[in-house]
Amino acid sequence: MPSELDSFQTFIDDILIRNKSVLDQTTKLQDACTHLCRNISKAATTCGCISINAHKQPYPTIEELSMDDLKALMKTHIDGKLCPNCEELLEKEMGRILFYLGAIANTFDLSLSDILTHEKNRTELLGKFSLR
């Protein structure tokens, strides 16, 4: 049974005509990433539903704290919650990112489902020590 990602890649393959060139796909992916970052900024600077209070992350030595303590100490620097409008804009760009990522995967005959599994396995090997 195909996974949701497999079905999504088949869907992309069926409907993608205009942006078949890998150059179109990569630049569309960059464009979607740019718009995602822009929409996050606009949520703070134009809408105001969130604020971004960035400051240096505390990096105590590993010996001082457990990994769980360190995880709790690290901040997103986001205060507030996205309003429905901003949330919709972020979802739209994340969807575009997934679409063009799937298109690039199709171009190189790669499976997003396999990529997801491999990445999860690689990250699980290192666990919290991957420091992502």
Give the residues lining the site for Zn ion (CB under 5 A): 43, 47, 49, 83, 86
86-113 CB burial, b ≥16 within 10 A, e <16: beebbeebeebbbbbbbbbbbeeeebbb
What's the closest the beta carbon of residue 55 comes to Zn ion, in angstroms? 23
Compare residues 90 and 98 and give the one whose CB is closer to Zn ion: 90
Compare residues 40 and 103 and give the one whose CB is closer to Zn ion: 40
Compare residues 46 and 123 and give the one whose CB is closer to Zn ion: 46
What is the phi/psi pair of residue 95, to 5°? -65, -45
What's the closest the beta carbon of residue 91 comes to Zn ion, in angstroms? 13
Tokens describing residue 47: 């809408």
What's the closest the beta carbon of residue 53 comes to Zn ion, in angstroms? 16
Tokens describing residue 43: 């949520």
